[in-house]
Amino acid sequence: MKILANDGIAKSGIDAMENAGFKVITDKVDQSQLIDYINKNDITALLVRSATKVRKDIIDACPNLKLIGRGGVGMDNIDVDYARDKGLHVINTPGASSASVAELVFAHLFGMVRFLFDANRNMPLEGDTRFKELKKSYGAGIELRGKKIGIIGFGRIGREVAKIALGQGMQVIAHDTHCKNAKIEIDFYDGQQVNFNINTVAIEEVYKNADFITVHVPFQGKPLISKKEIEMMKDNVGLVNAARGGVINEIDLLDALENGKIRYAGLDVFENEPTPNMKVLMAHQISLSPHIGAATLEAQDRIGTELAEQIEQLLK
């Protein structure tokens, strides 16, 4: 059986699938040519990340396709219910990239509070001529320790964010529509463990009390955070979105950055990927990354091997 990993896959995953007797193809096929390629090459399983979309047209036109796999958490680029109704297996790897995404959230947070995102733009241009002025401009940073972090969406990734926040000495305020209480277990290198019980609160409590807010929910067809929600927040709040583009209304975010309600933001995802709004890219208060939350070597290894284990179980 042939597997097309259209958005790439780690070598560990390829090796595991080939050892199980599958042929793995890593050609990057354009979306418009995908149906023809799958049928001509008798593809049994299609593996994607966020770039390739698997909609009804592909599902209907590819009768030999038995499985669709998403290397990551969110499956909004796949018509999941339709595929399952048609008898296809649809799988993902919800836990494989959680730690990587959580670390990226804090990469943005640390960079935000010390203005590194802006300093890294200006130092190469003006560091040799305006060193003292830049030093003064970026000299009003703050510490994360002791601050309140609001986590909207307290699943695997949200809880990994909480672990880092607690270790940093932050207070965690969490909201989740499906979880009232969560046990957070922080493991240390020497085998010691510290446990915290986090009770979730109403989302309004997060908006009103958090110094920083990070979102970890799927896109629901409209923004979760727009002007109304931003107005509930504390002045000088910081926002991070490493979940899905569109969860935060980018126009309202820009307005709030311009009027000073929001002090800074970190975005790993965008409404119009892969061509984000240029005003968002040029905003000097935004720390930017190109949708790399799961893009660590460790996460990709875990994604590959977890997909391989599931495929072997389902198709052999």
Q: What is the pLDDT of residue 213?
A: 98
Number of C-beta neighbours around residue 258 at 10 A: 11
Q: Please check whether residues 81 and 177 belong to one and the same domain.
A: no
Q: Please check whether residues 108 and 254 belong to one and the same domain.
A: yes
Report the pLDDT averaged over residues 229-236. 98
Surface-to-core class of residue 124, CB atoms within 10 Å of its CB (0-12 exposed, 13-18 middle, 19+ buried): exposed
Q: Please check whether residues 128 and 63 belong to one and the same domain.
A: no
Q: Please check whether residues 184 and 270 belong to one and the same domain.
A: yes
Rounded-to-integer distance, Cα 66 and Cα 138, Å: 55
Q: Please check whether residues 89 and 175 belong to one and the same domain.
A: no
Contact of 262 with 233, CB cutoff 8 Å: yes
Residue 11, domain extent: 2-94+297-315
Contact of 53 with 34, CB cutoff 8 Å: no
> Quick one: CA dihedral 73, 102, 254, 273, positive or negative?
negative
Q: What is the pLDDT of residue 73?
A: 85
Write the pLDDT tens digit of every residue in 279-294.
Answer: 999 999 999 999 999 9
Q: 34: Cβ–Cβ under 8 A, 6 or more apart, which residues?
A: 6, 52, 58
Which CATH number fits the domain that encloses residue 119? 3.40.50.720
Report the pLDDT averaged over residues 201-225. 97
Rounded-to-integer distance, Cα 155 and Cα 43, Å: 33
Write the pLDDT tens digit of every residue in 95-154.
Answer: 999 999 999 999 999 999 999 999 999 999 999 999 999 999 999 999 999 999 999 999
Write the pLDDT tens digit of every residue in 291-300.
Answer: 999 999 999 9
- Percentage with pLDDT > 90 across the chain: 97
pTM, to two decimals: 0.91
pLDDT at 238 > cutoff 90: yes
Q: How many CA atoms lie within 13 A of 31 on its CB side?
A: 10
163 vs 51, higher pLDDT: 163
pLDDT at 316 > cutoff 90: no
Report the pLDDT averaged over residues 49-74. 95
pLDDT at 249 > cutoff 90: yes
Q: Please check whether residues 108 and 136 belong to one and the same domain.
A: yes
Rounded-to-integer distance, Cα 164 and Cα 170, Å: 9
Rounded-to-integer distance, Cα 6 and Cα 26, Å: 6
Q: Is 53 helix (H, G, I), strand (E, B) or coil?
A: coil
Q: Binning pLDDT at 50, 70 and 90, where does residue 42 land?
A: very high
Place of tokens 């698997």: 54
Write the pLDDT tens digit of every residue in 69-85.
Answer: 999 888 989 999 999 99
pLDDT at 310 > cutoff 90: yes
- Amino acid identity for residue 171 in this structure: Q
Q: Please check whether residues 64 and 199 belong to one and the same domain.
A: no
Report the pLDDT averaged over residues 248-257. 98
Domains held by the chain: number = 2
Quote the mean pLDDT of the chain. 96
Number of C-beta neighbours around residue 267 at 10 A: 25
Q: Please check whether residues 149 and 232 belong to one and the same domain.
A: yes
Q: Please check whether residues 169 and 273 belong to one and the same domain.
A: yes
Residues with active-site annotation: 244, 273, 291
Q: Please check whether residues 161 and 112 belong to one and the same domain.
A: yes
Tokens of 19: 């050892």
Q: Please check whether residues 111 and 251 belong to one and the same domain.
A: yes
Q: Please check whether residues 150 and 12 belong to one and the same domain.
A: no
